[in-house]
Amino acid sequence: MHSALKVAAVGIALVAGFYGPQAIQQFKSAMEHSTADVSLDDYCMLSTTSCEQESISMSLDRETAQPLLPTKIKVVWEGAASETLMLSLTGLEMEMGSARFQLKNTGNNIYEGDVILPVCTMDHMTWLGELTDGVETVKPAIRMAR
């Protein structure tokens, strides 16, 4: 083996040995805090039964969403500051990125849209959301089952 490769290998081993434990600890800490700080009591769990948060009513057309199948969401928002609402969802049990959906005003302060969630390896998953009109924000949550 060339002496330059030996020096490089020793250097990499030293750096990995020095920074590796810190990196692993920070990763574990970040994973614990991402789920530990979330309380489902702060969220309105959506289903066919209307759920109300801050005088805003939300419901789904089915009890639980299914991956890749459109689930209609209906929101009654009196005095919304926009003609469209933005819904942003992130997975609780597994990091799946952020899914964003636009809900359109259909009249009489009613906003509707389709939510299509991605496939997940878990049988059940909770999607935590933020629904906003640009001024006010509420927190819906959607249960997904395969």
What are the sequence ranges of the domains in the chain? 1-37, 40-145
State what percent of residues in the chain have pLDDT above 70: 92
Q: How far, rounded to the nearest angstrom, does the alpha carbon of residue 17 sit from its chain's CA centroid?
A: 35
Torsion of CA 77, 80, 86, 87, to 10 degrees: -30
Query: Is CATH 3.40.50.720 correct for 40-145?
Result: no
Q: Is the pLDDT of residue 13 over 70?
A: yes
29 falls in which pLDDT band (50, 70, 90)?
low
Q: What is the pLDDT of residues 66-99, one digit of tens each?
A: 999 999 999 999 999 999 999 999 999 988 889 9
> Is 60 exceeded by the pLDDT of residue 47?
yes
Q: Which is it for the CA torsion 8, 10, 12, 14, positive or negative? A: negative
Q: Burial code of 74-83, b = ≥16 C-beta within 10 A, e = fewer?
A: bbbbeebeee
- On average, the pLDDT of the chain sits at 90
Contacts of 76 (CB under 8 A, 6+ apart): 56, 57, 58, 109, 110, 111
Pairing of strands 44-46, 140-145: parallel
Mean pLDDT of all residues in 28-37: 59
Measured CA to CA, the distance from residue 37 to residue 34 in angstroms comes to 6
pTM of the model: 0.74
Q: Whose structure tokens read 């899914």?
A: 99
Pull the structure tokens for residue 40: 């489902």
Is the pLDDT at 28 greater than 80, yes or no?
Answer: no
Is the pLDDT reported for residue 34 higher than 60?
no
Question: In angstroms, rounded to a whole number, what is the distance separating the alpha carbons of residues 103 and 44?
Answer: 17
Per-residue model confidence (pLDDT) at position 5: 84
Top mean pLDDT of 5-19, 34-48, 109-123 is at: 109-123
